[in-house]
Amino acid sequence: MSGNSGKNPVPVDTNGITQFQQMLASCSGALLTSLFVTPLDVVKIRLQAQKSPFPKGKCFVYCNGLMDHTCVCANGNSKAWYKAPGHFNGTLDAFIKIVRREGIKSLWSGLPPTLIMAVPATVIYFTCYDQLRAALRVRMGSHAEEAPLLAGALSRVGSVTVISPLELIRTKMQSQRSSYRELSEVIHSAVRNEGWRSLWRGWGPTLLRDVPFSAMYWYNYEKGKAWLCKHNNIREPTFAITFISGAVSGSISSIVTLPFDVVKTRRQVEIGELQAMNLSSKASSSTLSVMTKIVAENGVGGLLVGFLPRVIKVAPACAIMISCYEFGKAFFRKHNQERLLSSNT
């Protein structure tokens, strides 16, 4: 009979890893995704600023590959990264000139403050998804194949609900140029003037875009991953399989939810600019009225603006995030199995 070496085995769940290990895997995936995707958005914003300079109070949407953030332009701040001088003749030219004149670190301008919210949101989302999917598969019986669809939708509702007020407060602090020491006063002021519900302003349009996206993304991802594994006659997915499945699923979901992305972006900018002018964001339009206005001004095609840039941004972000997350989980699963074997020898 083999004796116990005194090492305690790691308590694992049905996925073969602990919840903390799931969180570590999603955190590392989030950081890598932001490092790869942020330069694309920094260049896009610099090109935007060149074409139409940002005045005081102007808002733009900054995406680090994990989530969108509203940035408010400061008055007369010519040294701000989005107002840095330079003339670019396209995306590639902008990449080269920014690196040559400002250093390679400039491609990640504005990233650190956004990670404070983007990383926790991603950790909550991915960890909840895995836990919900495992629980739903047991309870759904013959309909277990639909578990990723429901788990994806529910986990996104949870993460958006937690993060929405924090993102709104961050935008408000930026527009008022407040420090984090004044955080409680900013929250109290918002609640006193507009009520608790004001902290979740913009929550509805975000859900309309992100919940269908997540439901479709996870359902198609799990189906694609299973099909590729079967096609290649392997049990466990490789890095390439998870990468391809993530990219294809992300592309499909981003195309289907594009109209909601257009509306959500306009609402996000509108709310940010009202806050910058110290006006009540209650004045902002509803999702339906924004959609109607876009159609009236630009036709139905107005709801499909930015089709190619969105796919180019979302597909690699989804691919990098999910493949890094799956790689991290596989690493911890193997580590736990090895530790369990050594504890039994």
For 19-344, which CATH class?
Answer: mainly alpha
pLDDT of residue 200: 81
Q: Number of C-alpha atoms within 13 angstroms, CB side, residue 113?
A: 16
Residues of the chain with pLDDT under 70: 1-15, 74-79, 171-183, 186, 274-285
**Residue-level pLDDT at 13:** 59
Q: Where are the alpha helices (DSSP H) in the chain?
A: 19-51, 91-102, 111-139, 147-175, 183-194, 203-231, 239-256, 258-276, 287-298, 307-343
Q: What is the pLDDT of residue 282?
A: 53
Q: Which amino acid appears at position 120 of this protein?
A: P
Q: How is residue 21 written in tokens?
A: 């290990």
Q: What is the pLDDT of residue 49?
A: 82
